[in-house]
Amino acid sequence: MADLPDKRTAFMDWYLAVVDGAQLTDKRYPVKGMNVWTPYGFRARRNLDGVLVREIEATSSQAVEFPALIPSTEFAKEKEHIKGFDAQVYWVTKGGLTDLDVPLVLRPTSETAMYPIFAVWVRSHRDLPLNVYQIVNTFRYETKTTRPFIRVREIHFFEEHTCQANEAHATERVRSNLAAFRRMAAAFALPYLAIRRPEWDKFPGAFYSVALDAPIGEARTLQLGSIHHYRENFSRPYEIRYEAADGTQQYVHQTTFGLSERLLGAIVAVHGDAKGAVFPSAIAPYQVVVIPIPGTEAGEAPLATATEAAERLTRHGLRVHLDGGDDRPGAKYYRWELSGVPLRLEVGRREAESRSLTCVDRLGTKSRVALDRLEHEVPERLHDFDRALAARAQAAFEQSFSVARSIAELAGSTTVRLVAWCGSEECGHAIETGIDGALLGTPEEPLPGSFGAPGPCASCGATEGTRWAVAGRPL
Amino acid sequence: MADLPDKRTAFMDWYLAVVDGAQLTDKRYPVKGMNVWTPYGFRARRNLDGVLVREIEATSSQAVEFPALIPSTEFAKEKEHIKGFDAQVYWVTKGGLTDLDVPLVLRPTSETAMYPIFAVWVRSHRDLPLNVYQIVNTFRYETKTTRPFIRVREIHFFEEHTCQANEAHATERVRSNLAAFRRMAAAFALPYLAIRRPEWDKFPGAFYSVALDAPIGEARTLQLGSIHHYRENFSRPYEIRYEAADGTQQYVHQTTFGLSERLLGAIVAVHGDAKGAVFPSAIAPYQVVVIPIPGTEAGEAPLATATEAAERLTRHGLRVHLDGGDDRPGAKYYRWELSGVPLRLEVGRREAESRSLTCVDRLGTKSRVALDRLEHEVPERLHDFDRALAARAQAAFEQSFSVARSIAELAGSTTVRLVAWCGSEECGHAIETGIDGALLGTPEEPLPGSFGAPGPCASCGATEGTRWAVAGRPL
């Protein structure tokens, strides 16, 4: 039960220790960057996926699933796209004992799998909009250092692909996705910024890309996902056309919305603390752990009461774990704090006799809950915990920005920086050099707090047409 | 709206027409045997998976997910297993622009992915039993003719893998899996036989295999899944050992339980009829379709009432589709019958005025339901429909067997056959030749109906130790 590394000064060591300690994943699988979803980690993922499904389906999107293997001939149709991906895909070249005539790509993302089929699904304006999504694994031959959930080679991935009648409808879908993500992030208590990426950093083949970035301490950011407007960039090579009401043939405008298991990494990174992971109750594999505390005078009463409590809460629809193991209570507290369980109910002799349990939430708030009012009080405690967790994350978020007026001021940044930028690629790269990171782009939604007008470009000093840009060090 | 091919005389044409017509899958994806899960088909799959998850988790099994790619070095560890699979796996040989040092196999099944990790998870008898399952896609380089859901190259797959302390516990897990499958099959209203495969047809590496076979008309059978006892056949090469209570090191005994999207194919094949698919309500993508019937005198009333009905049933937790499109009512009836929706509610002027809807179930039973009692009456109608569907399937099942007393009697079989078998491989193959199919094995659970003692072997005439065996033509 050694202390965790310090989150502030040794972030990545801390992160890896928490992910390991909470048993969210097993990294011992014999392929680098391909990890095992353990029972505990899988539960978190399932809950997280449930939020994504609920929110995207509320915006008239339907689940589908396309094959994992894409013929190289289809993969190569959009030129920018293949350029962006061909150095990082896995190639299937053999089936059984024979070489394949057409090699297959293991999907790194599914544009090139879906769009030949969209071309047959979309015929008329009555087929639009086409909004479909899938939750599948994607594959990237990652050459950088891999990190659980943050950078892996087999990626648990959510991707929505839509076809719209025109550019304005596609722009409207981007907005709808931004609103859906706001609701998803609220369930995860994750503050973030929606940032339009600069031209040189947009998705291969996109007209523009809006990324969803979370500050995760110091100047670090983690890209949680992205929303892209493709205009006709894919519909032309894949010939996705429809007959408009006026009888003319039109190309669709497309959008995509991608999220990944990084969300789980971000939940660990943002909410975690010196004791380990902290899960908001919507995601927590177990929302409540019940711990009986035996004692020489206590007899079987604590276990009986703990069992009753666990069963009642389970029947009430909560995710509950009864830890009736042989470890000392202190060891159990340590383990379930490390694992991020929102509420702990302790049941000793006193609690069993008084039918009043000790309740400690993962942020340390202690209270008592009457066994006979458990089904009412525990959801209330979870609600209070979620609010406190969201407030803590929001406060940290608001502290995570500061303004830099010049390139010189960017050196050694200990927060994400807001800089005035004239919009030129040259000045953008100068800013990136200054912070030893990336110019993430310009906010697509209002910034938290008020920072006034941007003033002159931090690089060239131009005063006309500058905008606030966000600079940081993406993980 | 052409008639479907005849199910009895042209089964596979009928099956393909139903799967296409109901839009359960799209076969136009440009890789043979890799199909697209359409929105409608995906809903059926999601409901089906929900039943599997509910029933397997009720037997203390936990969800996990292991990587899709397996190093060839791990894949080769169990000799029978690799021999059984190496002609039908996909090989990943290149990552990005470079050849991989160790080629990777795209999982055809996950023994060789999981067991190196089980070897580190299992240390002590306190870690047993280890019961985990995953629902993932697997891949087989299938050289036979592919058929949607029945034989595909990317397979939606359920696989449970367990480690038990000894052979008896593993045998008990096989029994628990058989009981779990009985509950799953009840939700699908699918009758089947649990059949212990003959030695020459067991899973590569298994001690024994029990298959779950459904008769699907004539002498045809469809294998829905299988349950295997591995004894120590995998735990020895993968070194999955534990310290027993007495301090000795023991190898675990393992079992697996596999099911696939074939279940969906079987639901179509068994329940479908001259009008198309028929889904039991537990699986139906939509349980109810509501169809407003406009008319010159009806005005907006039918649509308003239909909308009210659909919204109320949706709020009540049912899966409902309101078909407010421009097609004629007859075309809508045809479409949703083809798609297998259990209940149709029709709302014309008369229904709107009387607030009493016409209800027609997919088996043709007509009734009226009061709009004000919709939430009570529709679930009752669904329940009645499910019972009638199960009774129809059970009656067909009981008609699907007949006894053959000799090899000669097997020729031209129009049902699955029961034959007395002495157990020898030679006689087994003689029976297979006789029926132009396969000896599926010996029943692991009692047969439906009573067939008396088996009598002398249909092949060699031996009278001692014969058993009933099942022979048929597996799809």
Backbone phi and psi for residue B174, each to the nearest 5 degrees, phi listed first: -55, -45
Test B37 with A64 for CB contact under 8 angstroms.
Answer: yes
Going by pLDDT thresholds of 50, 70 and 90, the confidence category of residue B300 is confident
Please tell me the predicted confidence (pLDDT) of residue B405.
95
The torsion angles phi and psi of A413, rounded to 5 degrees, stand at: -55, 135
What is residue A345's predicted lDDT score, i.e. its pLDDT?
98
Pairing mode of beta strands B288-292, B320-322: parallel
Closest CA relative to residue A298, chosen from A354, A369, A370: A354
**Pairwise CA distance, residues B241 & B250, whole Å:** 5
Structure tokens at B458: 């249909």
Output the CA angle B122-B128-B132, nearest 5 degrees.
80
Q: Residue A358's beta-bridge partner residues? A: A346, A368
pLDDT at position A257 is: 98
Quick check: B76 and B88 in contact, CB under 8 A?
Answer: no
Which residue of A42, A67, A95 is in closest CB contact with B63?
A42
Collapsed DSSP state (helix, strand, coil) of residue A253: strand
Q: Cα(B81)–Cα(B203) distance, rounded to whole angstroms?
A: 8
Q: Percentage helix, strand, coil, to 5, in chain A?
A: 35, 30, 35
Phi, psi for residue A115 in degrees, rounded to 5 = -70, -30
For residues A474 and A444, the answer to whether their CB atoms sit within 8 Å is no
- Return the residue in A32, A94, A115, A163 with the most chain B beta carbons within 10 A, the one to mutate for interface testing: A94
Q: Which residue has the higher pLDDT, B369 or A451?
A: B369
Contacts of B116 in chain A (CB under 8 A): 29-30
∠ Cα B442 B447 B453 (to 5°): 75
Percent of chain B with pLDDT over 90: 92
Q: Which residue of B has its CA nearest to A27?
A: B117
Which pLDDT score, from 0 to 100, does residue B251 have?
Answer: 98
CA distances for A288 relative to A24, A294, A359, B57, B262, angstroms: 17, 19, 10, 19, 38
Q: Give the mean pLDDT of B233-239.
A: 96
Cα-based distances in Å from B118 to B56, B76, B129, B189: 20, 17, 11, 35
Evaluate whether ipTM surpasses 0.90. Answer: yes
Mean pLDDT confidence for B17-39: 97
Mean pLDDT across B253-273: 98
pLDDT value of position A83: 82
What local confidence, expressed as pLDDT, does residue A85 receive?
Answer: 82
Helix (H) or strand (E) holding A177: helix A167-188
pLDDT digits 0-9 by tens, B274-292: 999 999 999 999 999 999 9
Q: What is each CA distance from B361 to B105, B187, B281, B462, in whole angstroms?
A: 47, 18, 11, 52
Å from A147 to nearest chain B CA?
A: 15
- CA-based nearest distance B77→chain A, Å: 14
pLDDT at A1: 60
Q: Tokens 């604590």 belong to which residue? A: A302
Contact B69 A90 (CB under 8 A): yes
Test the B interface: residue of A25, A38, A146 with most B CBs within 10 Å: A38
- The chain A residue lying nearest B60, using CA atoms, is A39
The nearest CA of chain B is from the CA of A114 a distance in Å of 9
Within B316-457, where are the H helices?
329-338, 349-354, 374-398, 407-410, 425-435
- What does the pLDDT average to over B375-398? 97
Closest CA to A35 of A144, A151, A141: A151
Q: Give the residue ranges of DSSP H helices in A224-261.
A: none
Helix B39-57 × helix B262-271 angle, to 10°: 110
Cβ separation A42–B28 shorter than 8 A: no
- Among B132, B141, B319, the strongest candidate for a mutation testing the A interface, having the largest count of A CBs within 10 A, is B141
Which among B63, B74, B92 is the nearest to A39, CB-wise?
B63
Per the CB < 8 Å rule, is A97 touching B87?
yes
Kindly calculate the radius of gyration of chain A based on its CA atoms and give it in whole angstroms.
25
| Confidence tier at B268 by pLDDT (50, 70, 90) | very high
Chain B hits for A132, CB-CB cut-off 8 Å, are 39
C-alpha distance from B276 to closest chain A C-alpha (Å): 22
The rounded percent of chain B whose pLDDT value lies above 70 is 99
At residue B1 the predicted structure's pLDDT band, cuts being 50, 70 and 90, is: low
* Shortest distance, CA B109 to any CA of chain A (angstroms): 15
Do B31 and A97 count as a contact with CB atoms less than 8 A apart? no
User: Min CA distance, A117 vs chain B (Å)?
Assistant: 7
Query: Where does B145-196 have alpha helices with state H?
Result: 167-188
> In this model, does residue B262 exceed pLDDT 80?
yes
CB atoms closer than 10 angstroms to residue B364? 10
3-state secondary structure at position B471: strand
pLDDT tens track for B59-83: 999 999 999 999 999 988 877 878 8
- The residue in chain A having the minimum alpha-carbon distance to the alpha carbon of residue B68 is A154
Within 10 angstroms of residue A196's Cβ, the number of other Cβ atoms is: 19
- Compute the radius of gyration of chain B from its Cα atoms: 25
CA distance B98 to chain A (A): 9
pLDDT digits (tens, 9 = 90+) for B147-188: 999 999 999 999 999 999 999 999 999 999 999 999 999 999
Residue contact B117–A93, C-beta within 8 A: no
| d(C-alpha A459, C-alpha A456), whole Å | 8
Ranges of residues in chain A with a pLDDT under 50 are none
Q: How far apart are CA A292 and CA A309, in angstroms?
A: 10
In angstroms, the CA A234 to CA A111 distance is 8
Can you list the positions of beta strands (E) in A187-252?
193-196, 208-215, 220-231, 241-243, 249-251
Q: Which residues of A are less than 8 Å from B64 in CB distance?
A: 36-39, 42
Q: What pLDDT shows up at residue A416?
A: 97
Q: What is the mean pLDDT of chain B?
A: 95
Q: B221: which strand partners?
A: B215, B474
Enumerate the residues of chain A whose CB falls inside 8 A of the CB of residue B39.
62-64, 132
